[in-house]
Structure 1
């Protein structure tokens, strides 16, 4: 009978299918946690040089061979950028298209999660995290800054389209107040004085655009003509506001809407009432979405630079994930007025 070699005191004996040494064996040998040993064997930052040498020596003495399949599985990146999108927004749809192009150019893909009338922002974000999105690109988020900052600790957050004060996360947006100011400048230059504005609700974006309208009206000496009607981002809101303007006996010669969808609702209501656009009333929107460019609308609007916003958002995510940037950054892009056929010279007073 052949003598079996004696077991060494430093090397645990394992037999059977589980005879291969494990990470726990190396950790026990050096008296460290498996997490610390794993950091050393993966070459990750953190452990001291002395600790590294101890772990590497113990692994060599024990003949430890890492399970490459398990290691790859643990380290495998999804390279997914999670995008929260409002399914009802044509502008968001355009942003997503540009985000896809920008992400593919740097070796990433997108995971999309939608907001609907019955599916809120929290649910959309939870879905993106469940899909192991490495960073979150949130289009027009409405959550409080504190909530977004806490979320950024789970995965880098890039908020697109919304100003966020005192939040430690990345923001990519256009200057909404300046964009609405450009529309008012354009209309005032055409001789309009009675310029009404249809708001977008209580959110930050709506607040900034409303403030831009008021400031521009005062800049042109039209403070006494400031007129803000309640609305939101839908066509229905534009229709309601337009009917109110027509019914109250003080019609405006120009209407600026919170976004293009709202402006299209204004156009529909004016058309049904037999009011000629732009001969009797000029109408302008905001976003320069795909609908605004259709010849049946030919809507004067403001471009937020969807392609540039998408490029900057993806670049911010890559800087956080691949380059290790930790300092939050805000990118504010200049808006651009796009003049089409829905605005014209103010009608002359009889």
Structure 2
């Protein structure tokens, strides 16, 4: 009669059960599971027969530990609410899952409330790390796993691989689009960070070269819908002459849409709004946001490829890959009447 657990379900067979059924030692079962030599054909057959009879499935975690590999790739982000990370993770998974790697995502913005997420990934012995934020100092020390930077970041360390989008070109595409529609006074909702700095600087340069007037928010806040709403409310109230807004990312642009509605402005009749990232939210029919596609899925894929090469020791460090952005025109921008 089979033993059952407290929930009425038979307990999962263990390696000790296999050894007892096959009449061999646990270490010999481990040798068979690893495909090692030095095991007689009779003993190997006895172990395999016991595995089939018991329905035994080796613990992947235990196998990975024995192989000194966890098959885990850590991903450090800084904002769970930003949908840009969703497409990045999708691209990473498309590449890494093929080689049996699992993603473990840690939001460093929660570090004040829980265990340091970077230390958490190191303690779980992640085989590699994707850094989708500025690089934590601890990763620049000794005995850390290979890591690759995803996205445009401030102060990329020498000799570290990085994959990003051409933010300067993307911001120029967005600004040129608004200028071509006849807008001459354009506001910009800026965000903190390397990508935000690149987009802001490119916007200012493009506006200056066109002889147009750029209105910038004084603060570079978080890349959130709430920040976009608050910044747009202030910008539009203080500068009613603004006819278009370029937000540093899609969620801030959605905040600007909310601000326009709050102020009784029609989009795009009274105010054109353009975002950046081409997230799933921007693509919804309800929002229908004009934006810049930074190929974030492609950034994820290329980052995954570089990390695989680094973990295998095949890729030289210091690689820089920059993906081309493209303009996606939808319903939130229109010609200035």
TM-score normalised according to structure 1 size = 0.72
For structure 2, list consecutive stretches of 5 or more residues without a partner in the other structure.
1-61
The 3 A distance-change label for structure 1 pair 88 and 133 is same
Q: 1:186 to 1:79 in 2, by over 3 A?
A: same
Work out which of the residue numbers 87, 90, 94 in structure 1 matches 2:87: 94
Q: 1:1-350 residue pairs with structure 2 within 5 A?
A: 74-85=66-77, 86-117=79-110, 119=112, 123-139=116-132, 141-143=133-135, 148-150=139-141, 154-163=144-153, 164-201=155-192, 203-222=193-212, 225-229=213-217, 230=219, 231-347=221-337
- Counterpart Cα distance in 1 of 2:156 and 2:70: 31
Distance 1:142 1:82 in 2: 15
Matched-pair contact (CA < 8 Å) for 1:156–1:169: no
| Cα-Cα RMSD | 2.4
Structure 1 stretch displaced more, 184-193 or 230-239: 230-239
1:148 Cα deviation (Å)?
4.6
- In 1, distance between residues paired with 2:112 and 2:269? 42
Cα gap change, 1:147/1:334 in structure 2, threshold over 3 Å: closer, same or farther?
A: farther
CA deviation after TM superposition for structure 1 residue 117, in Å:
4.8
Larger Rg: 1
TM-score (norm 2): 0.74
Consecutive unaligned residues of structure 1, counting only runs of 5 or more, are: 1-69
Structure 2 CA distance for partners of 1:137 and 1:72, relative to 1, 3 Å: closer
Q: Secondary structure at the match of 2:259?
A: helix
> Would you say the 8 A contact 1:198–1:257 is kept in 2?
yes
2:76, 2:161 → 1: CA distance? 15
SS of 1:226 mapped into structure 2: strand
Q: Check conservation: 2:161, 2:318, Cα contact below 8 A.
A: yes
Equivalent-residue separation in structure 2 for 1:259 and 1:294 (angstroms) = 16
**Distance across 2 between alignment mates of 1:306 and 1:333:** 9
